[in-house]
A and B are shown apart, each in its own frame.
Chain A
């Protein structure tokens, strides 16, 4: 009984830390899918790309992975802007978003993963930093620093984005465009530009999330696939564009996954996320116009 409680408490605390990280992973999709209605399936691949960039900066130049992520932000922002432009000209403008848009992002997901395999191979890569290894001991609970540091920075990033969206002009334009792009046009703001900024931001978050990921665990190119189910489950369950909802959903998923991993083994985690996804879909408002 005592052993079970010990395990349970550690599982829950790990789950909360994991949940914070999942929020950082999902915030990009909360923007691109939740607000812009663009099903960017490739988001996890960009996170892995971020991980590998953090790895390279760390292995070659000894740069701390979090710093590495920050350094990569501008490049990812530009990448996001470029991808949105292609998406817009090829699909959104033609009104042909569904099948081909999905295939487009799936293709990018695929190309990114295979590209990473070609450059880095299939071995697991990891980074070195002073906070990877040690843990804090709080009574029965061990809190590994390699999870705490990403947790703190994840919350900072999500909180920062929330402030940006609610306080700045462009941020509020992004919130507006997700609801009524026509009204935005009437205010002489170009909705396409606003959406491009939003999408670019969403990809930029992947740079940071990738750094967080490789701090928490070693990474190889196909790791991204597990995150597709997770990310969309969190965003849908969290109510699409809502950040607080996404936060709660991330925590819930993190805790459930952690408990499952502790008592049944870590290989069942994708099943937990999938279960969440199915529940999310069942709970959504029904009707073909359901949004």
Chain B
């Protein structure tokens, strides 16, 4: 279907789910769904750089936590409404992505991957040493009593915000897939030297993808302080965010927007169940094992198992 219809369908879905959710009586539904939606954003964001472009970002926790801590700083200074925090966090994390990319994307992709891993650790160190945001002791955020605009519980509001963000990020991914930009990213993934020889400005495209991916992750992190009400570096930079953002697209499938969505829903649901029944460390182990298993045995993920022939992309691409 044409891209603009996809956006319309997504918007309709958001409105439908949003309206239906007004009837939910148990706040637990919103708490649990928020996590799933958040991972849809993270997995989709990672996949733009990882699946579409072929550059692995291991520092997703860094971008995510930067978004969360940007929101904390805003909350303590100007206390703007959440949508503003999200936008600012997106810009800040996007800038980090751009900066990292500028420093590390001129050499092979493996160095970018290593640098992202090191970056996340350094960022955690910096935040731990920054007293304004609570340092290692953490910071308490008081959730407003009622939701703005629509009334009702605040957690329902957070759920709706994340729902919109999830739909937005999936639409962005879909738009990229069918655009000239997406073609360029795919050539970088397939053969960067040949891409350059064919006229693709690889550095520029990689920088855009990195900034976009990082920015979306920051946006996903911005509502976190309001969700957890207590934020400290070890929870902000939690191992779970790092591994899940990568495992979900790898399990679900990296070639299209549906993969990260499938992976996020599947793995997040499994983990919600597992955390309740077994320990949280064990459930992370399961995620790790699943990821390694899929990478070895099913490199195209779940979506790849159903995909057959190449989809006819030529018909829908714009010639700019």
Whether A and B touch (Cβ < 8 Å) is answered with yes
Residues of A within 8 A of B (CB): 39, 41, 86, 90, 96, 98-100, 102-104, 106-108, 110-111, 113-115, 117-118, 222, 225-226, 228-229, 232-233, 236, 265, 267-268, 270-271, 273-274, 277-278, 281-282, 284, 286, 288-290
- Which residue of chain A has its CB nearest to the CB of B51? A99
Question: Is residue B284 within 8 Å, beta carbon to beta carbon, of the partner chain?
Answer: yes
| Cross-chain contact of A286 among B106, B119, B246, B254 (Cβ < 8 A) | B106
How close is A31's CB to chain B, nearest CB, in angstroms? 16
- Assuming the contacts A99-B50, A273-B118, asked whether A288 and B288 have C-beta atoms less than 8 A apart, the reply is no
The answer on a CB contact under 8 Å between A108 and B122 is: no
Please report the C-alpha to C-alpha distance between residue A271 and residue B20 in the assembled complex, in whole angstroms.
48
The answer on a CB contact under 8 Å between A290 and B292 is: no
Question: Is residue B79 within 8 Å, beta carbon to beta carbon, of the partner chain?
Answer: no
> Do most interface residues of chain B lie in helix, strand or loop, or is the interface mixed?
helix
The answer on a CB contact under 8 Å between B104 and A278 is: yes
Task: Mark out the residues of chain B between 205 and 261 whose CB falls within 8 Å of any chain A CB in the assembled complex.
Answer: 239, 242-243, 246-247, 250, 254
> Do most interface residues of chain A lie in helix, strand or loop, or is the interface mixed?
helix
- Which residue of chain B has its CB nearest to the CB of A269? B125
5 A/B residue pairs, CB under 8 Å, sorted by A:
A100-B250, A100-B299, A103-B291, A111-B289, A229-B117
Task: Mark out the residues of chain B between 162 and 207 whose CB falls within 8 Å of any chain A CB in the assembled complex.
Answer: 192-193, 196, 202
The answer on a CB contact under 8 Å between A41 and B117 is: yes
- Assuming the contacts A107-B295, A114-B281, A225-B121, asked whether A98 and B54 have C-beta atoms less than 8 A apart, the reply is yes
Residue count of chain B within 8 Å CB distance of chain A: 47
The answer on a CB contact under 8 Å between A290 and B239 is: no
Q: With a CB–CB cut-off of 8 A, which chain B residues contact A104?
A: 292, 295-296
Given A267-B125, A290-B107, output 13 extra A-B contacts at Cβ < 8 Å. A98-B54, A100-B250, A106-B58, A107-B289, A107-B292, A111-B289, A114-B239, A114-B288, A228-B117, A277-B118, A281-B103, A281-B107, A288-B193
- Assuming the contacts A110-B239, A232-B114, A277-B115, asked whether A271 and B122 have C-beta atoms less than 8 A apart, the reply is yes
Question: Is residue B29 within 8 Å, beta carbon to beta carbon, of the partner chain?
Answer: no
The answer on a CB contact under 8 Å between B125 and A99 is: no
Please report the C-alpha to C-alpha distance between residue A257 and residue B299 in the assembled complex, in whole angstroms.
40
How close is A25's CB to chain B, nearest CB, in angstroms? 15
Q: With a CB–CB cut-off of 8 A, which chain A residues contact B202?
A: 288
The answer on a CB contact under 8 Å between A111 and B285 is: yes
Candidate in A273, A278, A286 with the most chain B CB atoms within 10 angstroms = A278
Task: Mark out the residues of chain B between 105 and 126 whose CB falls within 8 Å of any chain A CB in the assembled complex.
Answer: 106-111, 113-115, 117-119, 121-122, 125-126
| Closest 10 A/B residue pairs (Cβ) | A229-B118, A107-B292, A111-B288, A110-B288, A90-B296, A274-B122, A114-B285, A39-B110, A274-B118, A232-B114
How close is A195's CB to chain B, nearest CB, in angstroms? 17
How close is A52's CB to chain B, nearest CB, in angstroms? 15
Q: With a CB–CB cut-off of 8 A, which chain A residues contact B284?
A: 110, 114
